[in-house]
Amino acid sequence: MEYCKSCATLLLREWKGWPLRNPIPMLPQRGDGGCDVCGSLEPGIPSKDIQWLNYHEPYNTGLPDYWLLVYEQKTKWGRPYYSEIECRRCHGRAVLSEHGDARRESYRYKINCPKCGLLSPQPRSDGWRPEFKR
Residues that bind Zn ion (CB under 5 A): 4, 7, 28, 35, 37-38, 40, 87, 89-90, 113, 115-116
To Zn ion, the closest distance from the beta carbon of 132 in angstroms equals 23
To Zn ion, the closest distance from the beta carbon of 45 in angstroms equals 11
- Yes or no: say if 29 and 19 are a contact pair by the CB < 8 Å rule: no
- 3-class SS at 2? strand
To Zn ion, the closest distance from the beta carbon of 33 in angstroms equals 12
CA distance 129 to 122: 8
Looking at the Cβ atoms of 15 and 66, the one nearer to Zn ion is 15
Q: Please give the backbone phi and psi of residue 49, each rounded to the nearest 5 degrees, phi first.
A: -75, -15
Looking at the Cβ atoms of 17 and 90, the one nearer to Zn ion is 90
Half-sphere exposure of 18 (CA within 13 A, CB side): 5
To Zn ion, the closest distance from the beta carbon of 4 in angstroms equals 3
Looking at the Cβ atoms of 22 and 75, the one nearer to Zn ion is 22
